[in-house]
Amino acid sequence: MTYKLLVYIVILSMKTNDSEGVSGRFMKNRFSSLALSAVVTLSALALPAVSAAAAQKHAAPIGAKFKVGLVTDTGGLNDHSFNHLAYVGVLDAHKKFGVKYSVVQSHQSSDYVPNLTTFAQEGYNMVIAVGYLMDSAVQQVSKEYPKTKFLIIDDAITNRKNVMSAIFDTQQCGYLVGVMAGLMNLQKHIPQINGKNVVGVIGGQDIPPVESYMAGFEAGVKKVDPKATVLQAFANSFTDPGTGQQMALSQISQGADIIFPVAGGTGTGVINAAKQKNIFAIGVDANQNYLAPSTVMTSALKGVDVATEIAISDALHHHFKSGVVHFNLANKGVGIAPPIKAVPKSVLKKVDSFIPLLVKGKINPPALLSSH
């Protein structure tokens, strides 16, 4: 009725010819007024649906008031590895849910506590700590700010109700790229393979998230090539490409024709050395083929971006789970990147045959190096 009355008022107030009386004009437009009234009545019935659609179109995203703070470790966003992937996960959550975000890069370990604290003090809903080395910092800050949700990558914190720990079974993807390396090392017709049956692996620091990759890699190589030599070294840094390059050159001089760096930014130096000496490298965490397309034959993938987006989504939708959450081959939390054309299809087929065995638990690669 409101909409009918409004239309009649508009009609009666319209400017008309002065030679006609109001009564005459009304009779003249009687039928058109009735028709217009009917149209408006029908429009009024449809209006709620239209308004709802318009409101939905212009409504603020679900995460518009949800703030995420990302704290990198000393490797920084340009590590081409797990810090970068955590940032990708935050961007994905921003695009999908509209969450607001800020990033701070740590330049030294003493930055961890103040960087985490700043976000918590400013009322951020979730604070993300990238890396095992932030364990003590997250333990401290999460206790001081119990209402703030925290995500830590590559470390298990189980005594805080406001901390989710993303743990990746990288011994599985390490095993798969190890199988590929072992099989490739037997392909004597490939120019980059020197026939010395030696491969190498270089870690950034001797910590569990690095060691699990390395242990899986060694086990994979030995599974298909028991006589192979697997050289091991630690650069003691995730931010020193120069040291990575020198260590790689040392392993190459010892006969290595495939090297797997598990070393963040340090690993870029390893890949450069492999490219320089025309051997193969294997990327880590992200698909690093773009760093040297003919050199990086595959990459062991860690879904830090996936875990980060899941954690943000869970917190945003009130499904946050504290404690350890495992990411593995079964839930696509780890994997391997598509190999380059130099890898024969027969090798790839053999590598693929190990995936269901790992998923079903028929093969359980070690997470610790045999030398430890």
pLDDT for position 64: 86
Give the distance from CA 143 to its chain's centroid: 26
pLDDT-wise least confident of 38-42, 66-70, 235-239, 307-311:
38-42
pLDDT tens, residue by residue, 267-292: 999 999 999 999 999 999 999 999 99
pLDDT-wise least confident of 20-34, 88-102, 150-164, 332-346:
20-34
Sheet of 334-336, strand order: 229-234, 198-203, 256-262, 280-285, 296-302, 334-336
Quote the CA–CA distance of 311 and 290 in Å, as a whole number: 28
Quote the CA–CA distance of 210 and 302 in Å, as a whole number: 12
Sheet of 126-129, strand order: 100-104, 67-71, 126-129, 149-153, 163-168, 323-327
DSSP per residue, 58-77: HSPPTTTT-EEEEE--TT-G
Average pLDDT over residues 172-179: 98
Classify residue 91 as exposed, middle or buried by CB count within 10 Å of its CB (0-12, 13-18, 19+).
middle
Binning pLDDT at 50, 70 and 90, where does residue 353 land? very high
Least Cα distance to 232 among 206, 266, 209 occurs for: 206
pLDDT for position 6: 36
pLDDT for position 24: 38
Q: How far apart are the first and last CA of the chain?
A: 83
Tokens read off for 319: 């499904």
pLDDT tens, residue by residue, 22-48: 333 333 333 343 343 433 333 443 434
Tokens read off for 316: 């945003």
pLDDT tens, residue by residue, 183-196: 999 999 999 999 99
Beta strands 334-336 and 100-104 are unpaired
Binning pLDDT at 50, 70 and 90, where does residue 60 land? low
Do residues 150 and 135 make contact, with C-beta atoms less than 8 angstroms apart? no
Do residues 167 and 324 make contact, with C-beta atoms less than 8 angstroms apart? yes
pLDDT for position 55: 46
Binning pLDDT at 50, 70 and 90, where does residue 147 land? very high
pLDDT for position 180: 98
Orientation of helix 2-12 relative to helix 30-58, angle to 10°: 120
Tokens read off for 311: 């954690």
Length of the chain: 372
pLDDT tens, residue by residue, 297-319: 999 999 999 999 999 999 999 99
pLDDT tens, residue by residue, 96-118: 999 999 999 999 999 999 999 99
User: Residue 282 half-sphere exposure, CB side, CA atoms within 13 Å?
Assistant: 32
3-state DSSP call for residue 121? Answer: helix
Binning pLDDT at 50, 70 and 90, where does residue 371 land? confident
Quote the CA–CA distance of 80 and 72 in Å, as a whole number: 13
CA angle 168/318/141 to nearest 5° reads 65
Residue with tokens 């979730």: 126
Alpha-carbon Rg for the chain, nearest whole angstrom, is 30
Average pLDDT over residues 207-218: 98
Do residues 153 and 86 make contact, with C-beta atoms less than 8 angstroms apart? yes
More reliable by pLDDT, 343 or 39: 343
Domains of the chain and any CATH numbers:
2-58 (no CATH), 67-168 (3.40.50.2300), 170-301+341-359 (3.40.50.2300)
In the chain, count of helices (H) and strands (E)?
Answer: 12, 12
Average pLDDT over residues 333-354: 98
Average pLDDT, the chain: 88
- Of all residues in the chain, the percent with pLDDT exceeding 70 is 84
